[in-house]
Structure 1
Amino acid sequence: MTTPTQAESTEAKAPTTVVLSDVAAQKVKALIEQEGRDDLRLRVAVQPGGCSGLRYQLFFDERSLDGDVISDFGGVEVVVDRMSAPYLSGATIDFADRIDAQGFTIDNPNAQGSCACGDSFH
């Protein structure tokens, strides 16, 4: 048995970023293809607003900002800015296409509570 080096143990403790489910990745890929551009990525951000104080934003973006955290999910890049990253660490983005719900959903272990409409959290 080998002992991990300092670099390996540091990497293992690095915070996780947003996770994009396979279903969500397929939906994002299809939406980007509809746009007809290959330079777009899904940007996920947390902004002030909503009933509970913070609101999620998901949008396509071609920009690269200083400190962006970029993750690849089967060819779909997800970008989180450095200010939003701590709020989204370990959050899972999924896509629901059911009779009772349709659209992207975010399961965020960092959210301590959310409003009744589900659009914001604290």
Structure 2
Amino acid sequence: MTVQSEAPAQGIILTETASSKVKNLLEQEGRDDLRLRVAVQPGGCSGLRYQLFFDERELDGDVVRDFSGVEVVTDRMSAPYLMGATIDFVDTIEKQGFTIDNPNASGSCACGDSFN
């Protein structure tokens, strides 16, 4: 397991709003062994899609970053696709949920869940 806490460009950035939302969701789960795992998987209409889920596993080569007590984990295959990506949480009339602003994506689909 690799722990990173260098400059934001070295990995994922979790905004304060997203961190608070993750903390609330973890409290609702009632477990203290879960971390937010962010992964990139083949699929979606643009070729790759994001996955965000709570996970207790530790995989070989995981990159772990701590944001005010919230651990964000990325597997070693997904990490290069997510360098410098910012995860935020929006709660507006038009949209509610986590968003990912990824400088590595050359294009995305209209749904925002898939990129290339």
| Common topology (TM > 0.5) | yes
The residue type paired with residue 16 of structure 1 is Q
How far is the alpha carbon of 1:101 from its aligned partner?
1.1
Equivalent-residue separation in structure 1 for 2:34 and 2:111 (angstroms):
29
Which ranges of structure 1 fall in alignment gaps of 5 or more residues?
1-11
Distance 2:113 2:71 in 1: 23
Cα distance in 2, alignment partners of residues 99 and 17 from structure 1: 30
CA deviations on 1:16-66 (whole Å, 9 max, x unpaired) are 110000000000000000000000000000000000000000000000000
Q: TM-score, normalised by structure 2?
A: 0.92
Q: 1:109 & 1:74 partners in 2: Cα distance?
A: 24
Alpha-carbon deviation of 1:116?
1.5
Q: CA deviation at 1:117?
A: 1.4
Equivalenced residue count is 111
Structure 2 unaligned spans of 5+ = 1-5
Identity of aligned residues (%): 76
* 1:98 counterpart = 2:83: no
Cα distance in 1 between the residues matched to 2:22 and 2:64: 15
2:28, 2:110 → 1: CA distance? 33
Post-superposition CA distance 1:71-118 (Å, at most 9, x none): 000000000000000000000000000111100000000000001111
SS for the counterpart of 1:27 is: helix
Aligned position for 2:115: 121
* CA RMSD of superposed structures (Å): 1.5
Aligned to 1:3: none
Counterpart of 1:72 (choices 60, 66, 70) is: 66
2:54 pairs, out of 57, 60, 63, with 60
Letter in 2 for 1:55: R
TM-score (normalised: structure 1): 0.88
Post-superposition, which runs of at least 4 consecutive aligned residues in structure 1 deviate over 4 A? Answer: none
Secondary structure of the corresponding residue to residue 58 of structure 1: strand
Task: State the AA in 2 paired with 1:26.
Answer: S
